[in-house]
Homo-oligomer: A and B are copies of this chain.
Amino acid sequence: MFEARLDSSVTLKKVLEAIKDLLNDASFDCSDTGIQLQAMDNSHVSLVSLTLKSDGFDKYRCDRNITMGMNLASMVKILKCANNDDTVTIKAQDDADTVTFMFESKKQDKISDYAMKLMNLDQEHLGIPDTDFSCVIRMPSIEFARICRDLAQFGESIGIACTKEGVKFSASGDIGSANVKIAQTSNFEKEEESVTIEMQEPVALTFACQYLNSFTKATPLSPQVQLSMSDNVPLVVEYTVPELGHIRYYLAPKIEEDEN
């Protein structure tokens, strides 16, 4: 028997929004420590890793480890039927071929349950090595989303160059060239609006715009985003899932010997 309850459906909706453009289907691995999802995106370029810890749920029970393969478009349709403040309970029997989503209104005058068929998906578990990063940038997630969206108008790649003073994002193409410079914040009054940089050595890397823009679909989850960069290893873009865990996106830098 698997059962996980959240007093509000809104976080689950946001998690789904954060992965549904990258993944058609996904395997959710449920154990007594929580729910894990790890998958390459549909084009096998970037990697998504989602961790939701059991103790962040309002109720959580997982008698035996189960893996539930779900079609994300169907899951989105079902979650759309929940009001943001509905309690949501996800249930499955140990040997189930369906999962049930139950939504309850706060006043208990409306109870909905949606049963969805599970899928058998091939799974590839990828070991992600721990890395010490040359630069770790924390900045407002809305600002990062805005910059990725703006620069996407100018070219297919975005350069991210990090020094102690700040971060420079750049792009160029037919229209011309664009540079956006963000300075490290000196005052720390509002943590959510701050830009902080932990730097071992400067890094300048280039990434495909399209994937960065997909990652920013997670923006509603968290006011801050963390970008971790080192030469020759994938960029890690991390958003906190409030109380439950985090979502991490991995994207290898572009190799541009000719252009630089």
A111 proximity list for chain B (CB < 8 A): 180-181
Q: A150 within 8 Å of B by Cβ?
A: yes
Q: How far is the CA of A150 from the CA of B77 in the complex (A)?
A: 8
| Cβ contact within 8 Å between A110 and B182 | yes
A80 proximity list for chain B (CB < 8 A): 150, 153
Chain A window 69-99, contacts with chain B (Cβ cutoff 8 Å), 1 for yes, 0 for no: 0010010011011000000000000000010
| Distance (whole angstroms) from the CB of A20 to the closest CB of chain B | 15
With contacts A77-B153, A150-B81 taken as known, whether A176 is within 8 angstroms of B98 at the C-beta atoms is yes
Q: A29 within 8 Å of B by Cβ?
A: no
Q: A177 within 8 Å of B by Cβ?
A: yes
Interface residues of A (CB under 8 A from B): 71, 74, 77-78, 80-81, 98, 108-117, 143, 150, 153-154, 175-183, 185, 195
Report 15 cross-chain contacts, Cβ distance below 8 Å, ordered by A residue. A74-B175, A74-B176, A78-B176, A78-B178, A80-B150, A81-B153, A81-B178, A108-B183, A110-B182, A110-B183, A112-B178, A112-B180, A113-B178, A113-B179, A115-B177
Q: Which 6 A-B pairs have the closest CB atoms?
A: A116-B176, A81-B150, A112-B180, A74-B175, A115-B176, A77-B153
Given contacts A71-B175, A108-B183, A112-B180, 4 further A-B contacts (CB under 8 A): A110-B183, A111-B181, A114-B176, A114-B179
